[in-house]
Amino acid sequence: MMIGMLKVAVIGIGKMGQRHLEKWSQIGGCKIVGIVGRNPDKVTDLGLTYNAQPFTSLEDLVNAVEVDVVDICLPTHLHFEFIKQAAEAKKQIICEKPLALNAVEAKAIIEICEKQNVQLFVGQTLRFSSEYAQAHQQVKRGAIGKPGVIRLSRGTAYPNGSDSWYTDANKSGGILLDLGIHDFDWLIWTFGDVKKVFAKHIKKQVNSGRVLDYALVTLRMKDGAIAHVELSWAKNALEASFELAGDKGMIISNQDRSPIKVTLKDEFNETGALVNNPIGESPILQQLRHFKECITDGKTPLVTPEDALKAIEVAEAAIRSASTGQPVNLIERGA
Protein backbone atom coordinates (compact mmCIF):
# COMPACT_ATOMS: atom_id res chain seq x y z
CA MET A 1 0.00 0.00 0.00
CA MET A 2 1.77 3.13 -1.23
CA ILE A 3 0.20 6.40 -0.09
CA GLY A 4 1.34 9.96 0.54
CA MET A 5 0.33 11.85 3.69
CA LEU A 6 -0.84 9.31 6.26
CA LYS A 7 -4.07 10.32 8.02
CA VAL A 8 -4.06 9.02 11.60
CA ALA A 9 -6.78 8.68 14.24
CA VAL A 10 -5.90 7.85 17.85
CA ILE A 11 -8.46 5.92 19.91
CA GLY A 12 -8.08 6.39 23.66
CA ILE A 13 -6.96 9.47 25.56
CA GLY A 14 -5.34 7.96 28.64
CA LYS A 15 -1.60 8.09 29.28
CA MET A 16 -0.73 5.83 26.34
CA GLY A 17 -3.08 7.59 23.94
CA GLN A 18 -1.56 10.95 24.85
CA ARG A 19 1.95 9.58 24.38
CA HIS A 20 1.01 8.34 20.92
CA LEU A 21 -0.53 11.69 20.01
CA GLU A 22 2.66 13.46 21.05
CA LYS A 23 4.83 11.10 18.99
CA TRP A 24 2.60 11.19 15.90
CA SER A 25 2.88 14.99 15.96
CA GLN A 26 6.68 14.59 15.63
CA ILE A 27 6.60 12.28 12.60
CA GLY A 28 6.75 13.79 9.14
CA GLY A 29 4.43 12.67 6.37
CA CYS A 30 1.42 12.11 8.59
CA LYS A 31 -1.43 14.12 10.06
CA ILE A 32 -3.60 13.46 13.11
CA VAL A 33 -7.13 13.89 11.77
CA GLY A 34 -9.20 12.53 14.65
CA ILE A 35 -9.13 11.63 18.34
CA VAL A 36 -11.65 9.41 20.12
CA GLY A 37 -12.24 9.50 23.88
CA ARG A 38 -15.09 9.03 26.33
CA ASN A 39 -14.57 12.37 28.10
CA PRO A 40 -15.98 15.11 25.80
CA ASP A 41 -14.11 17.97 27.47
CA LYS A 42 -10.76 16.18 27.51
CA VAL A 43 -11.01 14.94 23.91
CA THR A 44 -12.02 18.45 22.78
CA ASP A 45 -8.95 19.94 24.48
CA LEU A 46 -6.70 17.36 22.84
CA GLY A 47 -8.33 18.08 19.50
CA LEU A 48 -7.40 21.73 19.88
CA THR A 49 -3.85 20.83 20.89
CA TYR A 50 -3.27 18.61 17.85
CA ASN A 51 -5.56 20.38 15.38
CA ALA A 52 -7.69 17.24 15.04
CA GLN A 53 -11.41 16.60 15.19
CA PRO A 54 -12.65 15.20 18.55
CA PHE A 55 -15.13 12.33 18.77
CA THR A 56 -16.65 10.19 21.49
CA SER A 57 -17.09 7.09 19.29
CA LEU A 58 -15.10 5.36 16.57
CA GLU A 59 -18.26 5.05 14.47
CA ASP A 60 -18.70 8.83 14.42
CA LEU A 61 -15.07 9.30 13.45
CA VAL A 62 -15.04 6.94 10.46
CA ASN A 63 -18.31 8.46 9.22
CA ALA A 64 -17.04 12.03 9.47
CA VAL A 65 -13.38 12.12 8.42
CA GLU A 66 -11.10 10.40 5.94
CA VAL A 67 -8.62 8.28 7.88
CA ASP A 68 -6.00 5.74 6.79
CA VAL A 69 -4.91 4.21 10.09
CA VAL A 70 -6.56 3.79 13.48
CA ASP A 71 -4.17 3.68 16.45
CA ILE A 72 -5.85 1.85 19.34
CA CYS A 73 -4.61 2.85 22.82
CA LEU A 74 -7.36 1.34 24.94
CA PRO A 75 -7.54 -1.13 27.85
CA THR A 76 -6.82 -4.66 26.62
CA HIS A 77 -10.35 -5.99 27.12
CA LEU A 78 -11.60 -3.44 24.55
CA HIS A 79 -9.11 -4.33 21.80
CA PHE A 80 -11.22 -6.98 20.08
CA GLU A 81 -14.31 -4.79 19.83
CA PHE A 82 -12.50 -1.76 18.42
CA ILE A 83 -10.16 -3.67 16.10
CA LYS A 84 -13.18 -5.45 14.61
CA GLN A 85 -14.95 -2.14 14.09
CA ALA A 86 -11.89 -0.52 12.50
CA ALA A 87 -11.17 -3.52 10.27
CA GLU A 88 -14.75 -3.63 9.01
CA ALA A 89 -14.36 0.06 8.14
CA LYS A 90 -11.31 -0.97 6.04
CA LYS A 91 -8.80 1.01 8.13
CA GLN A 92 -5.21 -0.05 8.74
CA ILE A 93 -4.73 -0.78 12.44
CA ILE A 94 -2.08 -0.17 15.08
CA CYS A 95 -2.81 -1.68 18.50
CA GLU A 96 -0.98 -1.35 21.79
CA LYS A 97 0.29 -4.54 23.42
CA PRO A 98 -0.97 -7.04 24.32
CA LEU A 99 -3.02 -7.63 21.18
CA ALA A 100 -5.78 -9.38 23.15
CA LEU A 101 -6.68 -10.88 26.53
CA ASN A 102 -6.05 -14.43 25.32
CA ALA A 103 -4.98 -16.48 22.33
CA VAL A 104 -8.55 -17.19 21.21
CA GLU A 105 -9.29 -13.47 20.92
CA ALA A 106 -5.94 -12.81 19.26
CA LYS A 107 -6.56 -15.47 16.61
CA ALA A 108 -10.02 -14.05 15.94
CA ILE A 109 -8.54 -10.55 15.54
CA ILE A 110 -5.94 -11.81 13.07
CA GLU A 111 -8.61 -13.64 11.07
CA ILE A 112 -10.85 -10.54 10.95
CA CYS A 113 -8.00 -8.34 9.69
CA GLU A 114 -7.01 -10.92 7.07
CA LYS A 115 -10.62 -11.24 5.91
CA GLN A 116 -10.99 -7.45 5.63
CA ASN A 117 -7.55 -7.20 3.96
CA VAL A 118 -6.24 -4.59 6.40
CA GLN A 119 -2.79 -4.43 7.98
CA LEU A 120 -2.44 -5.02 11.71
CA PHE A 121 0.57 -3.75 13.68
CA VAL A 122 1.13 -4.51 17.38
CA GLY A 123 3.12 -2.24 19.68
CA GLN A 124 5.83 -4.50 21.12
CA THR A 125 8.12 -1.62 22.05
CA LEU A 126 11.12 -3.61 23.33
CA ARG A 127 11.96 -4.41 19.71
CA PHE A 128 12.45 -0.66 19.24
CA SER A 129 14.27 -0.02 22.53
CA SER A 130 17.91 0.64 21.67
CA GLU A 131 19.54 -1.54 24.31
CA TYR A 132 17.23 -4.50 23.65
CA ALA A 133 17.56 -4.14 19.87
CA GLN A 134 21.36 -4.03 20.14
CA ALA A 135 21.44 -7.06 22.43
CA HIS A 136 19.16 -8.92 19.98
CA GLN A 137 21.57 -8.16 17.13
CA GLN A 138 24.58 -9.29 19.20
CA VAL A 139 22.89 -12.61 20.05
CA LYS A 140 21.84 -13.18 16.44
CA ARG A 141 25.37 -12.61 15.14
CA GLY A 142 26.70 -15.16 17.65
CA ALA A 143 28.45 -12.82 20.08
CA ILE A 144 27.60 -14.94 23.15
CA GLY A 145 27.80 -18.25 21.32
CA LYS A 146 25.22 -20.88 22.22
CA PRO A 147 22.76 -19.28 24.67
CA GLY A 148 22.66 -20.95 28.07
CA VAL A 149 20.96 -18.89 30.77
CA ILE A 150 18.91 -15.73 30.20
CA ARG A 151 17.69 -13.48 33.01
CA LEU A 152 15.27 -10.62 32.49
CA SER A 153 13.69 -8.40 35.13
CA ARG A 154 10.97 -5.76 34.78
CA GLY A 155 9.23 -3.83 37.51
CA THR A 156 7.16 -0.70 37.94
CA ALA A 157 4.77 0.87 40.42
CA TYR A 158 1.49 -0.83 41.23
CA PRO A 159 -1.20 0.61 38.93
CA ASN A 160 -3.73 2.89 40.61
CA GLY A 161 -6.01 5.82 39.91
CA SER A 162 -6.90 6.06 36.22
CA ASP A 163 -4.71 3.02 35.61
CA SER A 164 -6.55 0.80 38.10
CA TRP A 165 -8.08 -1.31 35.30
CA TYR A 166 -4.63 -2.93 35.00
CA THR A 167 -5.16 -4.62 38.36
CA ASP A 168 -8.32 -6.36 37.12
CA ALA A 169 -7.10 -9.52 35.39
CA ASN A 170 -10.38 -9.71 33.48
CA LYS A 171 -9.49 -6.41 31.80
CA SER A 172 -5.69 -6.49 31.57
CA GLY A 173 -4.69 -10.12 31.98
CA GLY A 174 -2.78 -9.15 35.13
CA ILE A 175 0.95 -8.84 35.61
CA LEU A 176 1.89 -11.97 33.66
CA LEU A 177 0.16 -10.78 30.48
CA ASP A 178 0.28 -7.01 30.68
CA LEU A 179 3.84 -6.60 32.00
CA GLY A 180 5.31 -9.96 31.02
CA ILE A 181 4.31 -9.61 27.35
CA HIS A 182 7.27 -7.24 26.81
CA ASP A 183 9.91 -9.77 27.80
CA PHE A 184 8.12 -12.83 26.42
CA ASP A 185 7.95 -11.21 22.98
CA TRP A 186 11.61 -10.16 23.11
CA LEU A 187 12.69 -13.63 24.24
CA ILE A 188 10.90 -15.34 21.34
CA TRP A 189 12.21 -12.76 18.85
CA THR A 190 15.78 -13.22 20.07
CA PHE A 191 16.04 -16.88 21.12
CA GLY A 192 13.21 -18.67 19.30
CA ASP A 193 10.15 -20.55 20.46
CA VAL A 194 9.36 -21.54 24.05
CA LYS A 195 8.97 -25.24 24.86
CA LYS A 196 7.94 -25.27 28.54
CA VAL A 197 6.77 -22.68 31.09
CA PHE A 198 6.70 -22.76 34.89
CA ALA A 199 5.52 -19.76 36.92
CA LYS A 200 4.90 -18.57 40.47
CA HIS A 201 2.71 -15.54 41.22
CA ILE A 202 2.18 -13.72 44.52
CA LYS A 203 -0.33 -10.92 45.04
CA LYS A 204 -1.08 -9.64 48.52
CA GLN A 205 -1.57 -6.49 50.53
CA VAL A 206 1.26 -5.72 52.93
CA ASN A 207 1.04 -3.87 56.28
CA SER A 208 1.60 -0.44 54.75
CA GLY A 209 -1.46 -0.91 52.57
CA ARG A 210 0.64 -1.29 49.45
CA VAL A 211 -0.13 -4.21 47.15
CA LEU A 212 2.68 -6.61 46.32
CA ASP A 213 2.26 -8.19 42.89
CA TYR A 214 5.21 -10.35 41.87
CA ALA A 215 5.80 -13.20 39.43
CA LEU A 216 8.76 -15.38 38.54
CA VAL A 217 8.63 -17.33 35.29
CA THR A 218 11.06 -20.01 34.14
CA LEU A 219 11.01 -20.90 30.47
CA ARG A 220 12.80 -23.66 28.61
CA MET A 221 13.44 -22.51 25.08
CA LYS A 222 13.16 -24.90 22.15
CA ASP A 223 16.95 -24.73 21.63
CA GLY A 224 17.60 -25.80 25.25
CA ALA A 225 18.38 -22.41 26.80
CA ILE A 226 16.77 -21.54 30.13
CA ALA A 227 15.20 -18.11 30.68
CA HIS A 228 14.14 -16.57 34.00
CA VAL A 229 11.75 -13.62 33.86
CA GLU A 230 11.08 -11.62 37.03
CA LEU A 231 8.06 -9.31 37.04
CA SER A 232 6.99 -6.83 39.71
CA TRP A 233 4.27 -4.26 40.26
CA ALA A 234 5.85 -3.15 43.54
CA LYS A 235 8.58 -0.71 42.48
CA ASN A 236 8.67 3.06 42.88
CA ALA A 237 9.58 3.57 39.21
CA LEU A 238 10.39 1.54 36.11
CA GLU A 239 13.31 -0.84 36.59
CA ALA A 240 14.42 -3.22 33.86
CA SER A 241 17.49 -5.35 33.28
CA PHE A 242 18.79 -8.35 31.41
CA GLU A 243 21.70 -10.77 31.58
CA LEU A 244 22.32 -13.00 28.57
CA ALA A 245 24.91 -15.76 29.03
CA GLY A 246 26.25 -18.15 26.42
CA ASP A 247 29.27 -20.38 26.01
CA LYS A 248 31.27 -17.56 24.39
CA GLY A 249 30.25 -14.47 26.34
CA MET A 250 27.72 -12.43 28.25
CA ILE A 251 25.69 -9.26 27.72
CA ILE A 252 24.39 -7.29 30.72
CA SER A 253 22.16 -4.22 30.92
CA ASN A 254 20.40 -2.62 33.90
CA GLN A 255 18.89 0.38 32.06
CA ASP A 256 20.52 2.87 34.43
CA ARG A 257 22.19 5.08 31.79
CA SER A 258 25.43 3.14 32.02
CA PRO A 259 26.61 1.39 28.84
CA ILE A 260 25.52 -2.17 28.11
CA LYS A 261 28.37 -4.44 29.20
CA VAL A 262 29.55 -7.06 26.69
CA THR A 263 32.05 -9.69 27.85
CA LEU A 264 33.36 -12.10 25.22
CA LYS A 265 35.21 -15.28 26.07
CA ASP A 266 38.33 -15.44 23.86
CA GLU A 267 42.09 -15.46 24.25
CA PHE A 268 42.05 -11.75 25.11
CA ASN A 269 39.14 -11.99 27.58
CA GLU A 270 37.69 -8.94 25.83
CA THR A 271 35.17 -6.67 27.55
CA GLY A 272 33.37 -3.97 25.57
CA ALA A 273 30.34 -1.74 25.78
CA LEU A 274 27.31 -0.70 23.76
CA VAL A 275 25.74 2.70 24.29
CA ASN A 276 22.20 2.90 25.71
CA ASN A 277 19.81 4.71 23.34
CA PRO A 278 22.52 6.42 21.25
CA ILE A 279 20.08 8.27 18.97
CA GLY A 280 18.02 9.65 21.83
CA GLU A 281 14.61 8.75 20.41
CA SER A 282 11.93 7.01 22.43
CA PRO A 283 10.97 3.44 21.46
CA ILE A 284 7.36 4.57 20.87
CA LEU A 285 8.49 7.23 18.41
CA GLN A 286 10.69 4.75 16.54
CA GLN A 287 7.89 2.18 16.55
CA LEU A 288 5.22 4.51 15.18
CA ARG A 289 7.57 5.84 12.52
CA HIS A 290 8.34 2.25 11.49
CA PHE A 291 4.63 1.38 11.28
CA LYS A 292 4.05 4.54 9.24
CA GLU A 293 6.78 3.48 6.79
CA CYS A 294 5.29 -0.02 6.56
CA ILE A 295 1.96 1.51 5.50
CA THR A 296 3.19 4.29 3.23
CA ASP A 297 6.38 2.76 1.80
CA GLY A 298 5.74 -0.97 1.96
CA LYS A 299 8.48 -1.63 4.54
CA THR A 300 8.49 -5.11 6.09
CA PRO A 301 7.06 -5.02 9.64
CA LEU A 302 9.51 -5.76 12.45
CA VAL A 303 6.70 -7.40 14.43
CA THR A 304 3.82 -9.41 12.99
CA PRO A 305 0.40 -10.28 14.44
CA GLU A 306 1.59 -13.88 14.65
CA ASP A 307 4.53 -12.74 16.80
CA ALA A 308 2.08 -11.00 19.12
CA LEU A 309 0.00 -14.18 19.31
CA LYS A 310 3.03 -16.28 20.30
CA ALA A 311 3.82 -13.94 23.19
CA ILE A 312 0.21 -14.15 24.39
CA GLU A 313 0.37 -17.95 24.29
CA VAL A 314 3.47 -17.88 26.52
CA ALA A 315 1.76 -15.46 28.94
CA GLU A 316 -1.32 -17.72 29.05
CA ALA A 317 0.90 -20.72 29.80
CA ALA A 318 2.50 -18.78 32.65
CA ILE A 319 -0.91 -17.84 34.05
CA ARG A 320 -2.02 -21.47 33.86
CA SER A 321 1.18 -22.70 35.50
CA ALA A 322 0.91 -20.17 38.34
CA SER A 323 -2.68 -21.27 38.93
CA THR A 324 -2.03 -25.04 38.90
CA GLY A 325 1.50 -25.11 40.30
CA GLN A 326 2.54 -27.29 37.38
CA PRO A 327 4.74 -26.64 34.33
CA VAL A 328 2.94 -26.16 31.02
CA ASN A 329 4.20 -27.62 27.76
CA LEU A 330 3.56 -25.47 24.73
CA ILE A 331 2.42 -27.27 21.58
CA GLU A 332 4.80 -26.53 18.75
CA ARG A 333 3.13 -24.16 16.31
CA GLY A 334 3.20 -25.20 12.71
CA ALA A 335 4.86 -28.53 13.49
pLDDT at 269 over 50: no
The pLDDT value recorded for residue 271 is: 41
The pLDDT value recorded for residue 258 is: 56
The pLDDT value recorded for residue 274 is: 44
What value does the mean pLDDT take over residues 234-255?
Answer: 92
pLDDT band of 335, cuts 50, 70, 90: very low
The pLDDT value recorded for residue 159 is: 84
pLDDT band of 161, cuts 50, 70, 90: low
The pLDDT value recorded for residue 205 is: 82
The answer to which of 136-140, 160-164, 206-210 has the lowest mean pLDDT is: 160-164
Interval 65-91: pLDDT, tens: 999 999 999 999 999 999 999 999 999
Beta pairing partners, 317: none
CB atoms within 10 A of CB 151: 15
The closest of 73, 80, 89 to 10, measured between CA atoms, is 73
The closest of 113, 87, 71 to 309, measured between CA atoms, is 113
Q: Any long-range contacts for 114-117 (C-beta under 8 Å, 24+ apart)? A: 115/87, 116/87, 116/88, 116/90, 117/90
Q: What is the mean pLDDT of the chain?
A: 91
Residue 254: burial class (beta carbons within 10 Å; 0-12, 13-18, 19+): middle
The pLDDT value recorded for residue 162 is: 64
CA 189, CA 202: separation in Å to the nearest integer?
28
Interval 26-76: pLDDT, tens: 999 999 999 999 999 999 999 999 999 999 999 999 999 999 999 999 999
The pLDDT value recorded for residue 275 is: 43
Residue 300: burial class (beta carbons within 10 Å; 0-12, 13-18, 19+): exposed
The closest of 66, 228, 57, 80 to 148, measured between CA atoms, is 228
The pLDDT value recorded for residue 211 is: 82
Domains of the chain: 6-123+284-303 (3.40.50.720), 126-278+312-329 (3.30.360.10)
List of residues 6+ apart from 273 with CB closer than 8 A: 259, 260, 261, 262
pLDDT at 276 over 60: no
pLDDT band of 236, cuts 50, 70, 90: confident
The answer to which of 11-25, 140-154, 164-178 has the lowest mean pLDDT is: 164-178
CA dihedral 87, 90, 94, 100 (to 10 degrees): 10
CB atoms within 10 A of CB 18: 19
Interval 296-323: pLDDT, tens: 999 999 999 999 999 999 999 999 999 9
The pLDDT value recorded for residue 284 is: 97
Interval 195-232: pLDDT, tens: 999 999 999 887 777 788 999 999 999 999 999 999 99
